[in-house]
Structure 1
Amino acid sequence: MGTNGSTMLEPLRQGLPPIDAASVSSSASCALPARYEAVRGARKFTSTTLAQWDLTDRFDDVALVVSELVTNALRHALPADTPREAPHDPPVRLHLMRWASRLVCAVRDPSPDSPATRESEEDFAAESGRGLFLVESFSDSWGWHPLAGTLHGKVVWALFRLPDAPQGEARTS
């Protein structure tokens, strides 16, 4: 019934910490090609979007996390022979959403596999294991959720608290 965008966000909302999804004040998304140059494009999109939202002071942390999430999606979620078809449904999408006191970046990819499958400490120390450690270190929280309905794959998200928000986020309404 809903559009592809709202269908995409539904499981994202379910997987997020308790935030009123209706109170998103701004959101932006971009499709990313199934190539490693997409990481540069994602950083540029993030820079432009944060500038529009007057959040350039958060760019370094957010861009690092976006880079890791997009790299993980390209490296682990897309087989080498992923067809480059269907421009209306690209394999990887970056979503940025802003609430009054929080910023969420989310990357959708076509793989249903958990992004956190590290079998042992040796794996964790490996080069490919550092991405999610960086995401965890630079964001306030992160997680993932499988997509539902007609969309296949998952969304991996990271949340940043915005410092200008009043403590406790008490809303008077």
Structure 2
Amino acid sequence: MSSPEMRSTPRLVAPPAPREPVVLSSAYRFRSITLVADYRDTPAAARHTARHVLGEWGLSELADDVELCVSELVGNAIHHAAPDGRRVQLAGERRVVVAFRYWPRSLFVEVSDEDSTPPTLPAGDRLDPSPGPDDTLLAEGGRGLFIVQSLADATWWAPIDQGGKSVFCRFDLAETQGRGDDRRATNGG
């Protein structure tokens, strides 16, 4: 087996390129950040990340609303979430994960924590701003999630198999672009 063909340098053949799923087209983008819940700068880091990501993706018109939603959701995770013991914790520190997913027609924001307890979503219809005798719809809780529900096109939550939960909000981009056009028209721009 010392023929000249065997002594030559082996040729490398590249494997066929993996096929990318259709749903992960070039317009799809993802970014996430894991934060330590007990650090003082965690809410500011989450807000800064939201504004930075949206600026990079050309979605700056959504930055104020998304930043406020991220702030409320991260604040809830920091103040209310207690690890339920089903996840292995890093050095005993509570973590909050903020993820952004962008498709051509929607932006999804997800905030995950290590507490499996369902969030307290506001009950009933949207709050009527007119003064009235019964102002208790959001008296005990849910004000932050009410803000998120008011700004986002959809809000929901889901448990995580390993423990914890994720709270999601969706922003429909086609409607947002139309809203921006309406704002420019009414402002004379």
TM-score, reference length from structure 2: 0.64
Counterpart CA distance in 2 for 1:147 and 1:49 is: 25
Give the match for residue 57 of structure 2: 53
Taking only the aligned residue pairs, the percentage that are identical comes to 32
Counting matched residue pairs gives 139
Q: Secondary structure at the match of 1:66?
A: helix
The 8 Å contact of residues 35 and 97 in structure 2, kept in 1 or not, is answered as: yes
The 8 Å contact of residues 101 and 165 in structure 1, kept in 2 or not, is answered as: no
The 8 Å contact of residues 31 and 90 in structure 1, kept in 2 or not, is answered as: no
Instruction: Work out whether 1:124 is the aligned partner of 2:138.
Output: yes
The 8 Å contact of residues 29 and 95 in structure 1, kept in 2 or not, is answered as: yes
Give the match for residue 144 of structure 1: 157
Unmatched runs of 5 consecutive residues or more in structure 2: 1-21, 84-88, 125-134, 179-189
The 8 Å contact of residues 98 and 110 in structure 2, kept in 1 or not, is answered as: yes
The 8 Å contact of residues 34 and 78 in structure 1, kept in 2 or not, is answered as: no
Unmatched runs of 5 consecutive residues or more in structure 1: 1-19, 80-84, 168-173
The 8 Å contact of residues 116 and 163 in structure 2, kept in 1 or not, is answered as: yes
The 8 Å contact of residues 78 and 111 in structure 1, kept in 2 or not, is answered as: yes
**Bigger fraction of residues in helix:** 1
> RMSD of aligned C-alpha atoms?
3.0
Counterpart CA distance in 2 for 1:108 and 1:138 is: 19
Spell out structure 1 runs of 4+ moving beyond 3 A.
20-24, 117-123, 164-167
TM-score, reference length from structure 1: 0.70
Shift of 1:123: 6.9
Indicate how the Cα distance of structure 1 residues 73 and 123 shifts in structure 2: closer, same or farther if over 3 A, else same. Answer: farther
Indicate how the Cα distance of structure 1 residues 162 and 144 shifts in structure 2: closer, same or farther if over 3 A, else same. Answer: same
